[in-house]
Amino acid sequence: MAKICFLLADGYEDSEMKNPYEAMKEAGHEADVVGLEKGAELKGKKGTVSYTSDYFISEVKADDYDAVIIPGGSAPEALRVHEEVVQFVKQANDQGKVIAGICHGPQVMISADILEGVNATSYMGIRDDLKNAGSNYFDQEVVVDGNIITSRTPKDEPAFIKEILNKL
């Protein structure tokens, strides 16, 4: 059983949190919602789901987790400006932990400066950001490069989830 950190803030893409979260739990993995404050109710941008953060980012360490999942929507933009989030993702990458981002999720990876020379994909709107971060951009449903897993949009969730589970 793996322990997974879901990095989350308000405005995430509902299904990009809900479907991977449920899939990880169904597979027997432990999943924590980690945000910018503890006990906060975090709402999806479509309003179909909400989660309460289990931990404030400063309460957790990369050592505590086997994987970090970053759903898309506008949440990654809110997360990436917090140094504790950036350092957490950097440390997880340094430790070779699985880091998975879908849609805008790779924005946090860009801020953590972990995509140089890495094959990746994302929502088309941040394609140039990935390229400017030194990533090799591919327009495909899921790209796996070492410990990094990226996907584009909600329609790619099945492939995204499958690759995360394969890595765990």
Contact 74, 81 (CB under 8 A): no
Catalytic residue flag (residue 82): no
Task: Give dist(CA 8, CA 159) in Å, integer.
Answer: 21
Q: What is the DSSP string of 80-132?
A: HT-HHHHHHHHHHHHTT-EEEEETTTHHHHHHTT--TT-EE---GGGHHHHHH
Catalytic residue among 5, 29, 82, 103: 103
Q: Round to whole Å and give the CA distance between 59 and 17.
A: 21
104 in active site: yes
Pairing of β 98-102 and β 148-151: parallel
Residues with a catalytic annotation lie at: 103-104
